[in-house]
Amino acid sequence: MDDNQTKKSNNTKWVYNAEMKPVNGIVIVAMNEYDWYAGKNVEECISQYMNDIGEDYDALDDPHIISEEEAHSLRWLDEDDSSDSVLTFFEHLQDIVFTNKNFTCTFFASTEY
């Protein structure tokens, strides 16, 4: 399959490598292979990430908006929640965007915590 081919499964049509659709103007940005931030765009997320970690540019590795497929396949688990509910990244983004009327760029997920 090339970069623009599509796949259909479970009545869902995926466009491979297409950026995710924003939720109320907010997207998920992969900062590297283990950290994700949510914000309006890549630049805003890089700025917040640098502020959070102390400007360690070596920690960045090709920051980019995740694909639509990744948004619906990557899993988010709140280990502090006793219900152990697992959401897709897209579902979790919807939850945080729609429950925070004044949403600002923020840490979203990590495999390191």
Spell out the domain ranges in the chain: 19-110
pLDDT at 81: 67
pTM: predicted TM-score of the whole model, two decimal places: 0.80
Using DSSP, how many helices (H) and how many strands (E) does the chain show? 3, 8
As averages over each run of 10 residues, the pLDDT of the chain (113 residues) reads 43 64 96 96 96 83 95 87 82 94 92 78
N-to-C CA span, the chain: 34
Pick the closest to residue 1 from 15, 13, 11 (CA basis): 15
Please tell me what DSSP assigns to residue 26.
Answer: B
**What residues are paired with 12 via a beta bridge?**
9
